[in-house]
Chains A and B, each alone.
Chain A
Amino acid sequence: MRDASLSRALLYAVAFLLAFLYLIPLAVVLLNSLRTAEEIVQTSMIGWPRVWAFQNYTAAWADFCIAQTCSGIRPYMLNSALVTLPATLLSTLLGAVAGYAISLWRFKGDTWIFALVTLGVFLPEQMRLIPWTIVLRDVGLTNTLAGLVMIHTVQGLSFTTLFCRNYYIAIPADLMKAAKIDGAGFFRIFYRIVLPLSPPILIVTVIWQFTGIWNEFLYGVTFTTGTQQPVTAALIALSASVADVPQHGVQSAAVVIAALPTLLVYLFGGRYFVRGLTAGAVK
C-alpha cells in the first residue's frame, strides 16, 4: 500500500498547490485593500502592507466621494441589488416555465424558437447596446432601474431557458402521461411535479444570473444616471482618470465589498451548484 499512500500524498500536494495558485489574485487584492494609495504608488502594486490601512474599508463603504455624493459605494450596492434581485428572479421563473414548455409540452416551432433563444447566449452585449437604447426610449424606461431589470430579464431568458430545458428533458415521459391522465393541466403539472424537482437547476440559474447581472457594467453605466448607478459603475468611478493618482487602496477595498454578495453566493451555493449540475443540468 506504499504506492497508494504515495499517490495520495502527491494528490494532496497537487490539490494544495493549485488551491494556492487560485488564491493568489484574491490575496493581492486583499493586501492592497489594506495599503494606502501613497504606499502602493511609492512601492509596487504587489506587496505587504507597511501600515495596515483598515480605514480603506470605511472609506470605500461610506465616505468616498463620487461626484458630489460622499456616501461610498453603499447606495450603489443597493441599486445593484434592486436590479439584480428582480431580474434574477424574473428571468429564472420565466425561463423555468419556458424550458418546461419546450421540453415537456412540445409544440409547433419549439425547436426553432429554442434555437433562436439559445443563440441569444452568444450575442455580445456591445452589439445590443444601441438597439436597447432605442427600446428603452420607446417603452419610456430610459434612465430607470426598471429598464435595466427589463434588459437583464429578456437577455437572461436565453441562459435560463437553455439550462431549464436541458434539465427538464430528463423528466420521465411516464410521469407526465400519468399526470395528464389524471386531468392535470399545464400549470398544475408545473406546480405539482416539475417545480418540486427543480431546486437543483433553479439554484444553478439563480447563481448564474445573479453573478452575471451583479457584475455587469456597460448597460449599468449607460442606462442609469447619477446616484442610480450600479456598484460596478461606482467601482470604475473610484479608478480615477488619467489626471489622478489611482486610489488603489480604497478601490481594492471597494472591490472586495462589491464582490461579497457574489462570493457569498458561490461560497454557500457552490455545493448546491455542483449538486444541481449533477442532477442533470448538463444532459
Chain B
Amino acid sequence: MSHAAPSPARPLFAGLKRLPEFLVIWVPLLLSAGHVVVFTAWTTWISFTPSTLVPVDGWVGWRNYTNVLATRNWKIAFDNLLIFGAGFVILTALVGLLLAIIIDQRIRGENVLRSIFLYPMAVSFVVTGTVWSWLLNPGMGIQKLVNDWGWTSFRFDWLIDRDMAIWTIVIAGIWQSSGFAMALFLAGLRSVEADLIKAAQIDGAGPVRIYTRVILPTLWPIVIAVMVILLQFAIKTFDLVRALTGGGPGLATQLPALVVYDFMFQRGHLGRGSAAAVLMLLTLLGVLLPYGAWKYYQRRRDARA
C-alpha cells in the first residue's frame, strides 16, 4: 500500500497555478465528507431535542434514547439486525462464491448464466420484496404449488412464522445480491496466478484441494470487500422489508432502518427517530472501528516489513 505514496505528504495548496487541481480534489471530497459529518452531527443534535413533526430547538437530554430503547420495536429490530446481518452477509457471500465457482468451470453458456445470476441486482428492492411476498406466501406461492402437485403435507410457511419470518428477507436478499458477490468472487478467481494452480496440479492436487488450499486463500481481500458491501445493504435494508413482510407478522421483522423511518415520519417523532438513527450508527461503528483498526495495524506491519 505504501508504494502508492511517491512522496511524503505535500502542502495542500502551492500557489495559484494549482487552483483548478485544488478545487477539483477538494470540492467533491469536502461536499461528500462534509455531508456525512454535518448530517450525522445534525441528527445527533436532533436526537436530544423535543422535535416532533419538524426539527425544533430545545434540550430533552437522553429522553428520546430511553424512550426508543424501551420500545419492543427497537429491541426486536436490534436482535433482527444481528440475525439478518449475519445471515444475509454470510449466506449471500457463500451463495455468491458457489455461483462464481460454477461459472469459473469454463462451462458453456457462461454469458447467459452470469446474466441470469446478475440481473436481480438491476431490480429495485420494492419490486423484489413484492414478488417474493407472493412466492413465499404459503397460500399462493411455493407451498401452494407443491401442495397442488400432490405433496399435501409440504410446509414452507416462514413468512407467517414469527421466528422464521426474518429468514424470508434473507432469502430475497440473497436472490438480489448474490450475483454481485458472484461477480466480485469471479473477478478474484480469475486473477489467481495460473502458475500457482499449475504447480498444485503437478503436485497431484485434485480440483477440490486446489480450491480449498490454493485459490480460496487468495480470495481473502475480496471476501472482506464483499462483506463490507453486503453489510451496508443489510444495514440499509428498508424497502425490501416494507414490501415483503411490512415488518410483520406482528413486529417480527422490524429492522433498525424501518424503526428510524417509522419514528421519524410515520409517528411524527423526529427526536426519537434520530435517537434510533444514532444508535444504529453506533452499532455500525462497533463493527467498522475494529475493522479499521485491523487494517491500520496491517498497514503498519506491512510498512515495517
Residues of A that sit less than 8 Å from B by CB: 11-12, 14-15, 18-19, 22-26, 28-29, 44-46, 94-95, 97-98, 101-108, 110, 113, 115-117, 119-131, 154-155, 157-158, 161, 166, 169, 171-173, 176-177, 180, 185-187, 211, 215, 217, 232, 235-236, 255, 259, 262-263, 265-267, 270-271, 273-275, 277-283
Contact = CB atoms under 8 A, between A and B. Distances in A.
A17 B36 CA distance: 43
A76 B81 CA distance: 35
A166 B10 CA distance: 21
Interface stretch (B63-71, B84-92, B183-191, B246-254): B183-191
B39 A169 contact: no
Contacts of A177: 6
Contact of A266 (B115, B225, B270): B115
A19 B117 contact: yes
A119 B31 CA distance: 13
B119 interface: yes
**Main DSSP-derived SS at the A contact region:** helix
Contact of A11 (B102, B119, B183, B270): B102
A215 B124 contact: yes
A187 B21 contact: yes
Q: Is the interface of B mostly helix, strand, loop or mixed?
A: helix
Contacts of B183: 270, 273-274, 277
A275 B254 CA distance: 38
- Output the residue of A45, A46, A122 with the most chain B CB within 10 A: A122
B146 interface: no
Contact of B140 (A44, A171, A281, A282): A44
Interface stretch (B126-134, B150-158, B161-169, B193-201): B126-134
A270 B187 contact: no
B9 A107 contact: yes
A97 B4 contact: no
B36 A46 contact: no
Contacts of B116: 19, 22-23
A28 B135 CA distance: 9
B277 A282 contact: no
A46 to B, nearest CB: 6
Interface in B93-109: 99, 102-103, 105, 107
A166 B55 CA distance: 38
Nearest to B1: A169
Contacts of A172: 3
B37 interface: yes
B102 A122 contact: no
A263 B119 contact: yes
A117 B99 contact: no
B124 A94 contact: no
Interface in B1-52: 1, 3-7, 9-12, 18, 20-21, 24-25, 28-33, 35-40, 42-43, 46
18 contacts: A12-B107, A19-B113, A46-B135, A94-B24, A98-B28, A116-B32, A122-B231, A123-B40, A126-B265, A127-B39, A130-B264, A131-B39, A217-B126, A266-B122, A271-B114, A274-B183, A277-B187, A281-B187
B39 to A, nearest CB: 4
Given A108-B12, A131-B38, A217-B239, A185 B127 contact: no
Given A25-B132, A130-B270, A121 B39 contact: no
Given A106-B6, A113-B33, A266-B122, 18 more contacts: A11-B105, A15-B107, A45-B134, A45-B137, A97-B24, A101-B25, A101-B29, A103-B4, A116-B33, A117-B29, A129-B264, A130-B55, A131-B43, A235-B126, A266-B115, A274-B186, A277-B186, A282-B226
B138 to A, nearest CB: 12
A118 B20 CA distance: 24
B121 A211 contact: yes
- Listed from nearest, the 7 A-B pairs whose CB atoms lie closest are A277-B187, A215-B124, A116-B33, A262-B122, A157-B32, A278-B187, A94-B28
A142 B3 CA distance: 46
A113 B29 contact: yes
Nearest to B46: A130
A113 B116 CA distance: 38
A185 B20 CA distance: 12
B216 interface: no
A268 B287 CA distance: 36
B187 to A, nearest CB: 4
A123 to B, nearest CB: 6
A153 to B, nearest CB: 8
Contact of A278 (B30, B186, B284): B186
Contacts of B235: 122, 124
A102 B5 CA distance: 10
Contacts of B226: 282
Contacts of A121: 232
A246 B145 CA distance: 23
B186 A126 contact: no
Nearest to A131: B39
A101 B22 CA distance: 10
